[in-house]
A and B are shown apart, each in its own frame.
Chain A
Amino acid sequence: MRFAVAVFPGSNCDVDAYRALHDVLGRDVEYLWYRETDLSGFDGVILPGGFSYGDYLRPGAIARFAPLMEAVVRFAGRGGMVLGICNGFQLLTEAGLLPGALLRNRDLTFLCDTVPVRVENADTAFTRCCQNGQVLRLPIAHGDGNYAVDAATLAVMEQRGQVILRYCAPDGTVDEQHNPNGSVANIAGIINGQGNVAGMMPHPERAAEELLGGTNGLFILQSMVQELERRQHEASRC
């Protein structure tokens, strides 16, 4: 099982993702420069956080045209697992792999904190190690995390269980008081209709070691690993 961590000019959480997958979970991981066009041999792709292209124009708006993204779109089209974290989530919406958009935070300031988020759908490839309703404590660090989507699309997403994480109170209550950035319906993370592409503003890769304040992010990363193991197992049976 091999993971690719994409590196665009300006990516800066590529290291965080690499460490969590490689150093903590002991997985095979490789950095992939934005000019690469070939994802063969990789089973999962992480689009990391940071400021690709300096957030010029809009976060993710330029990175979506990078050669690597064409490969990622093809990879996702074949059912490959793609996780976009923070800037990676913004990029996935810009690339049309996920619905909606991420606007400036409601208070117009960058926000770094560790916040509770509630797992809304534990029956996905990215959340299978969680329980429905489980509250995870995950770091956030963004200026543009205010998720927006039109009402009709939102209704469909809700109905299909595409909302996977919501900002909440420590006890799991979802209310406006515990919405750090103004996201519609407190949405912190979503998944596509096919279930193989997920985006989230919280950073699971930064919550992978007790020494650094908690390991709740491993619920997400381990889910991804388990799904890929399951796929490998199935492939070997064929």
Chain B
Amino acid sequence: MKLPGAERTARVGLTDAEYARIVELVGREPGDLELDLFGVMWSEHCSYKTSRPLLRLFPTTGAAVLQGPGENAGIVDIGDGLAVVMKVESHNHPSAVEPYQGAATGSGGIIRDIFTMGARPVAMLDSLRFGDLGEARQRSLFRGVVKGIGDYDNCMGIPTVAGEVGFDDSYTGNCLVNAMCVGIIRHTDIKRGAATGVGNPVILVGATTGRDGMGGASFASVDLTAASQERKSAVQVGDPFLEKLLLEACLELFRTDAVVGIQDLGAAGLTSASCETAARGGMGIDLDVALVPRREDGMVPAEVMISESQERMLVIAHQGREEEVQCIFDKWGLNAAVIGRVTDDGMLTIRNGDVVVGQVPAKALAEQAPLRHPEAVRPAWQDDLLDLDVTRLQQQDDWTGTLTALLGTPTIASKEWVYRQYDSVVRTNTVIGPGSDAAVLRVDGTDHGIALTIDGPGRMCLLDPATGAAMAVAEAARNLVCSGAKPLALTDCLNFGNPEKPEVFWQFSQAVVGMSEACRKLRIPVIGGNVSFYNETGASAIVPTPVVGMVGVVEDLAHICRQGFGEPDSVVVLLGANTDELGGSEYVRVATGRRAGRVPLLDLEREKEVQELCLTGIRRGLIRSAHDVSDGGLSVTLAESCISGQMGADLSLPAGIRPDALLFGEAPSRIVVTVGAGDLQALVDAAVEMGVPLAVLGTTGGTLLNIDVSGKSLVRAPVVDLAAAWSGSLPQVMSV
């Protein structure tokens, strides 16, 4: 039997059970406008109704955590009374439909999440995924996304300091655009998104409201279809200039004490900002849509409430300070309209002039979406993926050729084509910019720095979601350590397919379990993040892609490291041990055309020890360069260190492992470092003391990379040739 509201619920993308719950919470049948509000707020995108039960597994506390998940962004203490505010968020669906605006507004949204906490944004990072660049559509998406990010971030004057880009056929219909913003704030200046104080004015500031981005939250909560391409009205349009003004105006406003609470308007626009601030403050909000400054005529109240027009914020100010707020926004040429007041009835009351057009409990909208517990089933095809007979991989003579080819694959090749389009040095704090394991920024007014990275090994996650997700955490931490930073906290963006499919939900739950375990073992709390489901087109989902953004602290900027070999006659040392594992490697993908095999073992204890040894070596001034082993394996790491340092190396690897596994296996927990000859013993002593395996590989110098095993040269190539393959690949592919 169909409930009376069945047709109506389908229209807003909710189930009959959810409709019944709405009736229960509201105490009557909801009106159309009210149902629209529930439709967007109870969408997966806004409510996390499917992911929330599992996300509770994440460790989210720690001595340094000042704000965990649940606010606009997480906050972690970095000493000196300062803190880092950070968050990563997806903008996948809009970018798949309209790459330039989709990516630009992805930046815009995450930047607002940071300054709404009171912080000045100081850095941007991006994690991107596309299909095969051999296809014109993929090149066009890639080009559009990069330009969208660049135009927005550059105009904002926030340096884009790090990122990663990966390519895989599974992203063909559903590219991934994850943007991360990092801000710095004094502890005493932290703002929160809570509405308190009966009678306090609710002020909408920034841009005008139009029909762009209508229902974007619901749009993000279904699979992409051919019809999605027609839904361009669900994509927002960004104006970084307006956002720059909004940023400066808000920071100026925060220097007064007129603000009670503040929240940006993101997904679900005014609806989410009003009901979430009210719910957090345990209050209600009574607002009048007729007072909202508009850019279009004839908008009905529901449109005003769910519009996702960009560059807007909701400010709750102290009563009587309205004029002061107005003055600051006037100075910056922005709107500031008092649209309502804080009430004590817990209701979100929406008026259109004199008429009340909707009234529902704010908490019901913001927090009481019924949780979903979908079935999780290990895919039947999972075993086929693991099936890889490495003995059938041809053992060839030309390892130099294989290495050169790998260096030119888009996933491994230099991403300079991307980051040259981003201003990475504005605000003059960038000590290490894009193109190393992690970026390092000076913290204004101190000797300290922060290190930042973003990582997500999707290929490994397909084969083993738990280990793959743990590897994302381990690799992000390792990257920070390689720059000389101690990892502090992470923010995650979990990109998956349709969770209503048991196989996808299995991937998701495995990944959350794996990530949680890695976070606990490495003692890195999760302080916020984002889940992006429904990354599917037709029958195919993306490979599970958990992305980890991480911050670390550099105690002393005099002890930082880059990935390139910097000085000749340095001793090249491998921290950690090589293994005979090839599963999931880029090499296997190139050789067989498959993502296949058992992923390498990740021993988190070993991982921790290797990282501690590396960090100790850098802080004691022993280590001159450090680069972790990841995509492409040890030979690619060595080649990249040669290329970045424009210097050769003469190396001999320990024997006893198949040459292809030795050169291209992607076992984790390995870092290649260089030390001065005089410092080698100190490093060896430290390794012995900490129980970390270590191997001396050779010395830097000359113009050739030479890799021997048992006296036989496996790889021998001029560094300039390797550099040409590595650097030339993307520009060449993109010039087509």
Contacts and interface: CB of A to CB of B under 8 A. Distances in A.
A206 B424 CA distance: 11
B155 interface: yes
B34 to A, nearest CB: 38
A141 B154 CA distance: 9
A113 to B, nearest CB: 6
Interface in B119-149: 147
A12 B152 CA distance: 13
A102 to B, nearest CB: 16
Contact of A112 (B157, B333, B421): B421
Contact of B427 (A10, A16, A111): A16
Contacts of B421: 109-112
Nearest to B735: A107
Given A109-B147, A112-B420, A211-B431, A139 B157 contact: no
A83 B431 CA distance: 26
A51 interface: yes
A51 B239 CA distance: 12
Nearest to A139: B425
Interface string B409-431: 00000000001111111111111
Interface centre among A49, A110, A141, A208 (most CB of B within 10 A): A110
A109 B416 CA distance: 13
A124 to B, nearest CB: 25
B687 interface: no
A209 interface: yes
Given A54-B155, A54-B239, A109-B147, A12 B244 contact: yes
A141 B155 contact: no
A104 interface: no
Interface string A181-224: 00000000000000000000000011011011000000000000
Given A12-B426, A16-B428, A110-B154, A54 B420 contact: no
A50 B157 contact: yes
Contacts of B156: 12
Interface centre among B332, B423, B424, B427 (most CB of A within 10 A): B423
B111 to A, nearest CB: 13
B245 A13 contact: no
B428 A141 contact: no
A79 B666 CA distance: 64
A54 B240 contact: yes
Nearest to A52: B241
Given A54-B241, A111-B421, A112-B420, A12 B157 contact: yes
A51 B424 contact: no
Nearest to A24: B428
A58 B448 CA distance: 40
A110 B428 contact: no
A15 B244 CA distance: 14
A2 interface: no
B96 interface: no
A49 B154 CA distance: 11
A205 B239 CA distance: 27
B395 to A, nearest CB: 42
A4 B242 CA distance: 25
Given A9-B245, A13-B157, A110 B150 contact: yes
Contact of B442 (A16, A49, A211): A211
A207 B249 CA distance: 29
A151 to B, nearest CB: 31
Given A112-B422, A141-B426, A211 B557 contact: yes
Given A50-B157, A53-B241, A112-B419, A16 B426 contact: yes
B645 to A, nearest CB: 15
A20 B423 CA distance: 18
A12 B429 CA distance: 14
Interface in B238-259: 239-242, 244-245
Nearest to A203: B425
A211 B428 CA distance: 10
A51 B244 contact: yes
B264 interface: no
Q: Is the interface of A mostly helix, strand, loop or mixed?
A: mixed
Contacts of B164: none
Contacts of A65: none
Contact of A110 (B151, B240, B241, B430): B151
A210 to B, nearest CB: 10
A16 B429 CA distance: 9
Contacts of B242: 54
B663 to A, nearest CB: 32
A208 B151 CA distance: 26
B329 to A, nearest CB: 12
B150 A13 contact: no
Interface in B146-181: 147, 150-151, 154-157
Interface residues of A, number: 29
Given A54-B155, A112-B423, A212-B425, A10 B430 contact: no
Contacts of B424: 112
Contacts of B155: 10, 12, 51, 54-55
A50 B421 CA distance: 15
B506 to A, nearest CB: 42
B428 A205 contact: yes
Given A12-B157, A54-B155, A110-B150, A19 B244 contact: no
A223 to B, nearest CB: 20
A112 B428 contact: no
Given A12-B156, A112-B420, A211-B442, A206 B425 contact: yes
Contacts of A205: 428
Interface centre among B244, B245, B426 (most CB of A within 10 A): B426
A85 B427 CA distance: 14
A51 B155 CA distance: 6
Nearest to A109: B421
Contacts of B419: 112
A110 B429 CA distance: 20
A9 B428 contact: no
Contacts of A15: 427-428
Contacts of A143: 154
A13 B426 contact: yes
A54 B442 CA distance: 27
A178 to B, nearest CB: 15
Given A9-B245, A54-B239, A212 B420 contact: no
Given A15-B428, A205-B428, A10 B557 contact: no
Interface string A30-71: 000000000000000000011101111000000000000000
Contacts of B240: 51, 54
A112 B239 contact: no
Nearest to B153: A110
Interface centre among A56, A113, A141 (most CB of B within 10 A): A141
A139 B420 CA distance: 12
Given A10-B155, A141-B154, A112 B431 contact: no
Nearest to A14: B157
A212 B425 CA distance: 9
A20 B429 CA distance: 12
Interface of A: 9-10, 12-13, 15-16, 19-20, 49-51, 53-56, 109-113, 139, 141, 143, 205-206, 208-209, 211-212
Given A54-B239, A110-B150, A209-B428, 17 more contacts: A9-B245, A12-B157, A12-B244, A12-B427, A50-B157, A51-B155, A51-B241, A54-B155, A56-B241, A112-B420, A139-B425, A141-B426, A211-B431, A211-B442, A212-B425, A212-B429, A212-B430
When A and B form their complex, which 8 residue pairs have the shortest distance between CB atoms, in order from nearest?
A: A12-B157, A54-B241, A141-B423, A51-B155, A16-B428, A110-B421, A112-B423, A110-B150
13 contacts: A10-B241, A10-B244, A16-B427, A51-B241, A51-B244, A54-B244, A55-B155, A139-B425, A141-B154, A143-B154, A206-B425, A208-B428, A212-B442
Interface of B: 147, 150-151, 154-157, 239-242, 244-245, 332-333, 419-431, 442, 557
